[in-house]
Structure formats: C-alpha cells, structure tokens
C-alpha cells in the first residue's frame, strides 16, 4: 500500500491502534515495518513483492524515510477488505495526514493506489505546547542543532519581533569540500521565494498606473505567440495562479536549461503553448505565470527585471545581499546547494538554471529577508492598500494564496510570506503583521530542511505577546 508514499511527504506518526485483519490492513502492517525500519534491504524486499514498479525509486523512498523518520497510525477512519483510510503522523515532525490505500484482490495483494493529504490534528491528538518567548528561543536552537547533527539541516535562521532580533544563527557547511561554515552572511538560493519580489514589482507598477490588475497580456505583449492566451489571461490571473499558464519544468526546460538566459528566452520557448484551463476557472501553481509577470515588468518599466527589482525593492529596503546574478559569476558568500543522490549529499550544480528568474532562483540572507519584511510593513516598497490586497486570499480555491504571497491564519494570528524549494535549496519567510513577528529560515539542503525547522517554531511560539 504505502509504496506511493514517496510522493511528497510531511505526514505520519502517532501511537498505532491494531490494524484491520484484512488484505489492506496486512499490507499496511508489512509496509510500515519495512519503511519505518530504515533498512534499505527490508524496504527493497517489500517493494519487490508488493510494488515492483517502485523498486527503481528506492533511493527516493529512503530519502523520504529520512525526512519523515517514519510513520505511525493514529486511527483508522474506514476499512474494507481491499481498501482503508487512516490518520497518520510523521515521527520527525508535527504533521498529520490522511492515508488512503487500495490493494489487489489476489494474493499477495499488491498495492494499487496510495494517497497522502495533510490534515489538521485529529480530535484527541496531543496538542503541541505553546512556549513562552525565552523558552521557545532555547528550544528552537536546540531543535536546529539536533537537525544539524542528524545532517538534516544546514543553513541560517532568524526570529524577530518589531525589528528586534530575538534569536538568529547559522549551522552546517556552506561548502562541504572546503569545510566553509554557514554564517548569517551566507547567501542561500531562494527558489520560489523570489515570487514575492516579482509580485511587489508588479503591484508597484499598478500603483503607478502603468498596469492594471485586469489588463490582458496582449495589451502589453501584442506580439505574444498565443493570441488566445494573451487575450484571456490578465495580470490578476498571473498574480493569483489562476491563469492556466502551466509550468516551465520538464523535458523542454531540461534540454534548454543553460541557453535560457533572459526572460524573453522562456517566452520564446513556451509562448505558443496552449492554456491548461480557462483563466479564472481554478487555482494551479504556475512558475510560467510568474515568469510572464517578470517579462511584463520589463516591457512596462523599460528596464530589465533584475535592474528594476534592485532599484525599486532591494535598494529601498536596504537589502545589500540579495540578487540573481548568473551562476557562472562568482558570488563569494553564496552557498553551494546539496541534494541527496543515492543516499549521499551531492552538489546541485547540474540542476541550476543559468540565472534565477522572476519565478524563482535568486539568493539572499535571513537578515535581508527581515529587511524586506520590515520595508513591506513600513510601506516603503508597497502601499498599505496593495500590501493588504497581496496578503489576503485571492482567486478560486487558492490554498491560502494572495498575489505572490502565501496567506493564513493560525489560532487567530494572521500571517503572510512564501516558501521556496528545489534540489539543494529550501527557504521560508513568514510575517505576522499584528504582532510584528518575522521568521526566516534558509537552507542549502533539499526540502523540507528549512520548512521543517520553521514549522517547528510556528507550532510552538506564542501567538500573542504581553
């Protein structure tokens, strides 16, 4: 059953009730034993019998096991002979998920399907205790050191309130060959966190009357190859991931990775592509949509995207360690990213774009991310009106997403920010505007290194301050 679990985890762990005495329940028990053991040979034996199509992905499965620490069943929600649903919890984190599975009727009851979806803690689950600030600071430092010693975190972290840093630090290595340690000045790749800068740039131009939320692309890009797309997709659609414009990653990207040097190169490569769905019909994360926003910024401002964000976001905010220079250019404090390959950390060099784009890929420090958050809150780089619009949920069914910012409410405490992740990079910024809290974590390891460290604090820090 659980073969598919390599899918994308942040899920299971708890105190297991007895499994149903059914083919589905028996297969679940066998899988949990193999997966939770952390023994590659045991897991391989399970896959060969119950899910042979996944044997060639065993390294990914072992990496997933390392990230989660294994899973425990909390309760069974439903059970039939060949399928079941259970609430599970990851052992190395606070996340719960609903696990659903189906098995074949014939012995040995191979897995047909398995799904995992993160859910709120079930009734009766032990609540994570909220800590007082001083206690949370010490506990968070200890947790980050624990993750570092287990080789699951390397990076920098920061927790501030009202501009005052409560705690910050850096652990692990920026370059494992040279034994260069990470510091608070180390520049980490941001992945999709760059989308916040692109959103701010776009909203600045709207505020100046040079763009409108409801402008169709064709108004500013009359030569766009797919006229149907350009006449239907608006700036609003792109900002809220409801445009149906699709992704940039896949075979075409892999073939052209090092020749895609300007935003216009991406538009030439993907511009004739059809819509995935009618704009506004639903929410679907679109890296290409934010690449188009960067291209719009260039067309409307008359500057390159990179020059525009330097002049209108980084400089006014005092962000002196943030940029998107090409990978071939030497950046003295930029960390090497490390991704897991066959159970060992390896540089992510061969996965990187020639240069970061408006969809993601720049680099920064936790200190600069704090400056960015402060500049937003002080309305230095975005008006109060557009910050409010950017940080409230927009679009159809968006899972807590505004205009280029993730949004949410935790126990009545509203927050906004963005995460970023790709092989060898992971980051998280979260701002709680009502309490002045800013949390930034950056890592030069695979996801969920930074996200796991940040979530640990999110779940334990005080939501209100005296």
Digits of tens for pLDDT over the chain (466 positions)?
333 333 333 333 334 689 999 999 999 999 889 988 988 999 999 999 999 988 888 888 887 887 788 889 999 999 999 999 999 998 888 888 898 889 999 999 999 987 888 888 888 776 788 999 999 999 999 999 999 999 999 999 999 999 999 999 999 999 999 999 999 999 999 999 999 999 999 999 999 999 999 999 999 999 999 999 999 999 999 999 999 999 999 999 999 999 999 999 999 999 999 999 999 999 999 999 999 999 999 999 999 999 999 999 999 999 999 999 999 999 999 999 999 988 899 999 999 999 999 999 899 999 999 999 999 999 999 999 999 999 999 976 567 899 999 999 988 899 999 999 999 999 999 999 999 999 999 999 999 999 999 999 999 999 988 6
Q: Does 259 share its domain with 181? A: yes
The reply to whether 277 falls in a domain is: yes
CATH number of the domain enclosing 450: 3.40.710.10
The reply to whether 60 falls in a domain is: yes
Sign of CA dihedral 213, 218, 224, 229: positive
Whether residue 70 is preceded by a cis peptide bond, meaning omega within 30 degrees of 0, is no
**Cα–Cα distance measured from residue 308 to residue 312, given in angstroms and rounded to the nearest whole number:** 6
Instruction: Please state the domain count of the chain.
Output: 2
Q: Does 266 share its domain with 315? A: yes
Q: Does 134 share its domain with 233? A: yes
Q: What pTM does this model have?
A: 0.87
Which domain covers residue 88, as residue numbers?
A: 2-119
Return the residue matching tokens 């005052």.
Answer: 164
Q: Does 60 share its domain with 148? A: no
Residues ≥6 apart with Cβ < 8 Å to 110: 49, 50, 51, 52, 103, 104
Domain finish residue from 119, 140, 160: 119
Q: Does 147 share its domain with 23? A: no
Q: Which of 363, 189, 348, 217 is nearest to 291 (CA)?
A: 217
Q: Does 258 share its domain with 343? A: yes
Q: Does 327 share its domain with 430? A: yes
What values do phi and psi take at 386, rounded to 5? -75, -25
The reply to whether 125 falls in a domain is: no
């Amino acid at each position: 059953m659980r073969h598919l679990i390599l899918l994308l985890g942040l899920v299971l762990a708890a105190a297991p009730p007895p499994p149903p005495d059914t083919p589905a329940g028996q297969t679940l028990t066998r899988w949990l034993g193999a997966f939770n053991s952390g023994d590659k040979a045991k897991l391989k034996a399970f896959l060969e019998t119950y899910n042979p199509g996944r044997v060639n992905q065993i390294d990914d499965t072992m990496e997933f096991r390392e990230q989660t620490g294994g899973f425990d069943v909390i309760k069974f929600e439903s059970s039939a002979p060949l399928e079941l649903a259970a609430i599970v919890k990851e052992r190395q984190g606070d996340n719960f998920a609903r696990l659903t599975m189906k098995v074949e009727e014939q012995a040995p009851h191979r897995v047909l399907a398995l799904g995992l979806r993160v859910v709120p803690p079930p009734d009766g689950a032990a609540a994570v205790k909220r800590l007082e600030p001083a206690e949370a600071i010490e506990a968070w430092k200890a947790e980050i050191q624990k993750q570092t010693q287990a080789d699951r975190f390397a990076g920098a972290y920061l927790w501030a309130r009202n501009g005052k840093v409560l705690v910050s630090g850096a652990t692990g290595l920026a370059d494992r060959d040279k034994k260069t340690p990470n510091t608070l000045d180390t520049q980490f790749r941001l992945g999709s966190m760059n989308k916040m800068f692109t959103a701010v740039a776009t909203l600045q131009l709207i505020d100046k009357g040079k763009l409108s939320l409801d402008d169709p692309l064709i108004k500013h890009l009359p030569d766009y190859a797919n006229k149907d797309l350009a006449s239907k997709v608006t700036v609003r659609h792109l900002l809220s991931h409801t445009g149906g414009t699709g992704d940039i990653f896949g075979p075409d990207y892999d073939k052209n990775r090092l020749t895609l040097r300007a935003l216009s190169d991406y538009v030439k490569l993907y511009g004739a592509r059809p819509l995935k769905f009618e704009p506004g019909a639903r929410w679907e994360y679109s890296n290409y949509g934010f690449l188009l926003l960067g291209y719009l910024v260039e067309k409307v401002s008359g500057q390159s995207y990179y020059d525009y964000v330097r002049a209108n976001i980084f400089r006014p905010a005092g962000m002196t360690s943030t940029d998107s220079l090409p990978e071939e250019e030497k950046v003295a404090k930029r960390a090497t990213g490390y991704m897991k390959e066959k159970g060992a950390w390896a540089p992510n060099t061969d996965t990187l774009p020639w240069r970061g784009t408006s969809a993601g890929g720049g680099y920064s420090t936790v200190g600069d991310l704090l400056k960015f958050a402060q500049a937003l809150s002080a309305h230095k780089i975005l008006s109060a009106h557009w910050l409010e619009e950017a940080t409230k949920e927009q679009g159809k069914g968006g899972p807590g997403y505004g205009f280029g910012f993730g949004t949410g409410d935790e126990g009545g405490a509203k927050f906004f920010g963005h995460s970023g992740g790709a092989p060898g990079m992971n980051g998280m910024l979260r701002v709680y505007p009502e309490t002045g809290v800013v949390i930034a974590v950056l890592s030069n390891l695979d996801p969920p290194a930074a996200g796991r460290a940040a979530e640990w604090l999110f779940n334990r820090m005080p939501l209100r301050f005296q």
